[in-house]
Amino acid sequence: MARPSHVPVLLDRVVALLSPALDRPGSVLVDCTLGLGGHTEAVLERLGQARVIGIDRDPAALDLAGQRLAAYGDRFTAVHAVYDEIPEVLDDLGLDHVDAIFFDLGVSSMQLDVRERGFAYAEDAPLDMRMGSTGPTAADVLNTYSAPELTRVLRDYGEEKFARKIAGAVVRRRESEPFTTSAALVELLYAEIPAPARRTGGHPAKRTFQALRMEVNDELAVLRRALPAAIDAIGVGGRVVVESYHSLEDRLVKQAFTAATRSEVPEDLPFVPEGSEPALRLVTRGSEKADASEIEANPRAASVRLRAVERVRPTTPTATGRRAAR
């Protein structure tokens, strides 16, 4: 098995955005997408008063990150969970709220670099693509979804212009031989995507592999549940910081942050009554991107969009009884 590598995206900027919330005794960060622990390691190293709860659905990631971060002792806690389970994770740890929550969305470097996981299209490997160890694989999707279902996945998650054409070809191909490895799928994509389109927009398999990964792991639905849970879980002065790499992910983040920072006071009211101010404020202006030097050093940073919000006042108890802030 290949040994994964990891270059954290926008590392210094992420730590800078988290610092105001974590530079105090007993502060707690939840890293919802631990991966190999690059961002967490930087927080533990640079912010000596903080401890980190690292969540990942991938047992292999938890094992490797745990080895990497062992030197930090009880300042680091690893939790096997999906990141929309934030409320349950905090309840299990006896925490009413935390000081910061971080998401680095999408596929991790570890998953891309380990051939056996089937995330990469550059070499032949089993069509798995699961971030965890349970549930249907990418091969299951290709071999069982109807042509309209496959078209939806490729169009919505991969923004693939030839989604219908590819879906039809997949259904015809699997009648004679089911899909098991990535090489057969890549071969089909080269055949179905017209040559002029193959010459632009990167590797012709990129969009289809992305779409399958997002479908297999139910990524958008998980994110849609996780964002309000994260906002609800931070105390006053706490921050939620999100790195996304796909327009649909970034749109969900933008919508959640806009809703959380919007005033409910009518626009024509000449003043905002005390107590009616939004509970959160935007920290970043729009989305921030990686500069040319970082993209050159780490091509995976090319599509990153970084957003952050901060809680500025407490809110009332939620329906579950958890207070968002004290």
The 3-class SS string of 251-265 reads HHHHHHHHHHHCCCC
190 in a labelled binding site? no
Residue type for position 277: E
The whole-number pLDDT of residue 211 equals 94
Tokens standing for residue 140: 């299951």
Lowest mean pLDDT across 12-16, 120-124, 222-226: 120-124
131-158 pLDDT, tens per residue?
876 789 999 999 999 999 999 999 999 9
pLDDT class of 199 with cuts at 50, 70, 90:
confident
d(CA 296, CA 302): 9
User: Half-sphere exposure of residue 170, counting CA atoms within 13 Å on the CB side?
Assistant: 31
Q: Are residues 275 and 138 in the same domain?
A: no
- Same domain? For 170 and 260 the reply is no
Question: Comparing 53-67, 154-168, 197-211, 239-253, which segment has the lowest mean pLDDT?
Answer: 197-211
117 found inside a domain: no
Q: Check residues 130 and 120 and name the one with the higher pLDDT.
A: 130
Per-residue pLDDT at 325? 46
Query: Would you say 111 is a known binding-site residue?
Result: yes
Q: Which residues contact 154 (CB under 8 A, 6 or more apart)?
A: 160, 163, 166, 167, 207, 208, 211
**Same domain for 207 and 238?**
no
Give the pLDDT confidence score for residue 115 in this predicted structure. Answer: 47
87 and 318 in contact (C-beta within 8 Å)? no
Query: In angstroms, what CA-CA distances link 243 with 13, 102, 250, 307?
Result: 11, 8, 8, 7
Q: How far apart are the first and last CA of the chain?
A: 47
Based on the fold, state whether residues 210 and 223 are members of the same structural domain.
no
Residues 46 and 104 in one domain: yes
Q: Average pLDDT in the 13-23 region?
A: 97
Could you tell me if 48 and 86 lie in one domain?
yes
CATH of the domain at 273: 3.40.50.150
Q: Is residue 57 part of a domain?
A: yes
247 and 174, same structural domain?
no
Residue 231 lies in a domain: yes
- Angle, in degrees to the nearest 10, between helices 206-216 and 182-192: 130
Q: Is residue 290 one of the residues assigned to a domain?
A: yes
pLDDT at 56 over 60: yes
User: Residue 250: helix, strand or coil by DSSP?
Assistant: helix
| Burial of 110 from C-beta contacts in 10 A (0-12 / 13-18 / 19+) | buried
Q: How many helices (H) and strands (E) does the chain have?
A: 14, 7
Q: Is the pLDDT of residue 110 over 60?
A: no
In this structure, what token pair is assigned to residue 66? 């745990």
pLDDT per position as a tens digit, 222-260: 999 999 999 999 999 999 999 999 899 999 999 999 999
Of the candidates 153, 187, 216, which is a domain's last residue?
216
Q: Does the residue 155 lie in any domain?
A: yes
**Contact partners, residue 51, CB within 8 Å, separation at least 6:** 26, 27, 28, 29, 44, 74, 75, 76, 77
- The answer to whether residue 125 is domain-embedded is no
Q: Are 239 and 15 in contact (CB under 8 A)?
A: no
The CATH number of residue 139's host domain is 1.10.150.170
**Which residue, 163, 185, 216, sits at the end of a domain?**
216
Q: What is the SS3 assignment for 235?
A: strand
What total number of domains does the chain contain? 2
Domain hosting residue 88, numbered range? 11-110+219-311
60 and 185 in a single domain? The answer is no
Looking at the fold, whether 96 and 30 belong to one and the same domain comes out as yes
91 labelled binding-site residue: no
Question: How do residues 220-230 score in pLDDT, each as one tens digit?
Answer: 999 999 999 99
Q: What pTM does this model have?
A: 0.85
Last residue of a domain, one of 154, 182, 216: 216
**Is the distance from CB of 97 to CB of 325 less than 8 angstroms?**
yes
Count the Cβ atoms, other than its own, within 10 Å of residue 322. Answer: 16
Q: What percent of the chain has pLDDT over 70?
A: 85
Asked if residue 307 belongs to a domain, the reply is yes
Closest to 51 (Cα-Cα) out of 36, 62, 60, 41? 41
My answer on whether 88 and 229 are in the same domain is: yes
- Residues 290, 266, single domain; the answer is yes
Tell whether residue 99 is among the known ligand binding residues.
no
Does 157 belong to an annotated binding site? Answer: no
Would you state the pLDDT for residue 198?
Answer: 78
